[in-house]
Amino acid sequence: MTRAWFLSRCNKVWKDAGLVELTGHCFRIGGATELLLRGVPPDVIAVQGRWKSRAFLDYWRKIDSILPLFVTSSFSDARVAMIHASMDSFTRRYISTVSST
């Protein structure tokens, strides 16, 4: 299975169902968001997603609007707080590095 075939097949199914077509980038964004919500450390997500920049953090910064779309009652307040703490730690570690370059 190739990336092109997979995207073509998905988009055919979605189009036939009256849904909008998506790009491969949508899968990367969705995957990064899902992993962040599950508490995976951001550095691991960057490596797994082959993100050459910290661009995926832009999606996390919009989490207040994204979170309600993905989170169900299965995520407790404590779990969400832990995720925020993880992201804050990551931001402190890397944003100062990125900003100074």
Each residue's pLDDT tens digit, 15-70: 999 988 888 888 888 888 788 777 788 888 888 888 877 777 776 666 666 566 55
Cα angle 59, 26, 79 (rounded to 5 degrees) comes to 45
Distance (Å, whole) CA 1 – CA 34: 23
Residue 2: predicted pLDDT? 92
> In the chain, what are the helix, strand and coil shares in percent, each to the nearest 5?
70, 0, 30
Whole-structure pTM value: 0.51
Q: What does the pLDDT read at residue 84?
A: 81
In a 3-state reduction of DSSP, which class is residue 56? helix
